[in-house]
Homo-oligomer: A and B are copies of this chain.
Amino acid sequence: MREGYREELDDINASLVGMANAVGSAVSTATTALLDADVALADLVIAGDKQIDATRESIEQRCFTLLARQQPVAGDLRTITTAMRIVSDLERMGDLAEHIAKVARMRFPEQAVPQEVRSALLEMGHIADLLITKTATVIATRDVEAAQELETDDDAMDRLHRGLFRALLKDDWPHGIETAIDITLLGRYYERFADHAVSVARRVVYLVTGEHAPVPAPEA
């Protein structure tokens, strides 16, 4: 029994990695849908979020069952409670990818993203992709150094986010309020996506080292 238990712990971790990969695919696809005004891709992301939500339910349930049946202590207990939190972050990241896709869908056949901020959003999408890829690796390997890299990537995301506001606030912004609202929300979605990736990484660091990462700079 105890061996089946160890296997189940490993299986849960593998499911978390699979879920992170699904979220990575969702955010990449959402970014493409957004920048190419591709409504079929947007719909793919929106439909796919149900699967991500179902995976969350399933992992949570398996963690709960493991807690109930095996009554783990110490490290194993910490592993399971950490998995339960990571799965929340990942699900939320899936929601944010879906929100991005919905902006693309709402403006279709128009482009939601005007030329002035296209490269910034492309770059934000790129960093989101990088972050979730690293997050999956961190979950799989518990690599504390890789986990700390995510903080740097998140700083880059924050810089891009601030740049987006600067672009909106230029005197000659020609696209009106509706586009400004879209861009404001999109910026927020990517920024929150990055925050959740960092949150996952910090949980893994805490699991491995027993130490909390340095207190984060207050979110803008």
| A residues in contact (CB < 8 Å) with B | 64, 67-68, 71, 73-74, 77-78, 81, 84-85, 88, 95, 99, 102, 165, 168-169, 173, 177-178, 180-181, 184-185, 188, 219-220
Of A78, A165, A184, A219, the most chain B CB neighbours within 10 A belong to A184
Instruction: Give how many copies assemble into the complex.
Output: 2
Residues of B within 8 A of A64 (CB): 77-78, 81
CB proximity of A66 to chain B, nearest CB, Å: 11
Of A177, A180, A181, the most chain B CB neighbours within 10 A belong to A177
In the assembled complex, the Cα of A73 lies from the Cα of B77 at a distance in Å of 14
With both beta carbons as reference points, the residue of chain B lying nearest to A78 in the complex is identified as B64
In the assembled complex, the Cα of A184 lies from the Cα of B169 at a distance in Å of 14
Contact A81 B67 (CB under 8 A): yes
Residues of B within 8 A of A168 (CB): 177, 181
In the assembled complex, the Cα of A180 lies from the Cα of B71 at a distance in Å of 52
In the assembled complex, the Cα of A188 lies from the Cα of B99 at a distance in Å of 13
With both beta carbons as reference points, the residue of chain B lying nearest to A180 in the complex is identified as B177
